[in-house]
Amino acid sequence: MKRLILVRHGKSSWENDLPDHKRPLKKRGYKDAEVVLNAFQNFYEPGALFWSSYAVRAHETAKMFKERLNVPDKDFVVKEDLYTFNQNELLSVIRSCKDDIERLFVFGHNPAMTILVNSLGDKKLDNLPTTGLCVIDFEENSWEDIRKGKTILTLLPKNLR
């Protein structure tokens, strides 16, 4: 069985005319991550692999999860190819995960995240908002084979405030 946890990066700032991948989190991005982590931390099972886009807003969000959930450095990887907005590219990266990994966190970007939540899970969302988290379980034993799973948890900041 495989468990995929998709987390969209926190709310980012459009100030300072920075390139897209260098945009930082706004204060709300940090606050929303705290709210989601407060709800999620008791559900979390240690031993997951964390993959993050290198974009500042995704990496900062991922680091907050890493620190709160005490994820070791060896299980935290920044992947350049997660800086994508395309669901097929994102799915391809996820399917490249080694099969000895049972639980994978991916911190990335819309619209790819929302489309994957809807195509891989069994509960539809209009939009996975910033700092939204979705957990999907799969019966498959290989990441390469994941197709349709069961959505077991969705945490949206606006529902937790």
By the 10 Å C-beta count (0-12 exposed, 13-18 middle, 19+ buried), 24 is classed as: middle
- Mean pLDDT, the chain, whole residue set: 97
pLDDT of residue 161: 84
Number of folded domains in the chain?
1
Looking at residue 24, its amino acid is P
Q: Which two tokens stand for residue 110?
A: 């819309």
Domain of 148, CATH number, reads 3.40.50.1240
Whether the predicted pLDDT of 85 surpasses 90: yes
Is the pTM higher than 0.85? The answer reads: yes
Domain that holds residue 32: 2-160
Q: pLDDT by residue (tens digit) across 8-54?
A: 999 999 887 899 999 999 999 999 999 999 999 999 999 999 999 99
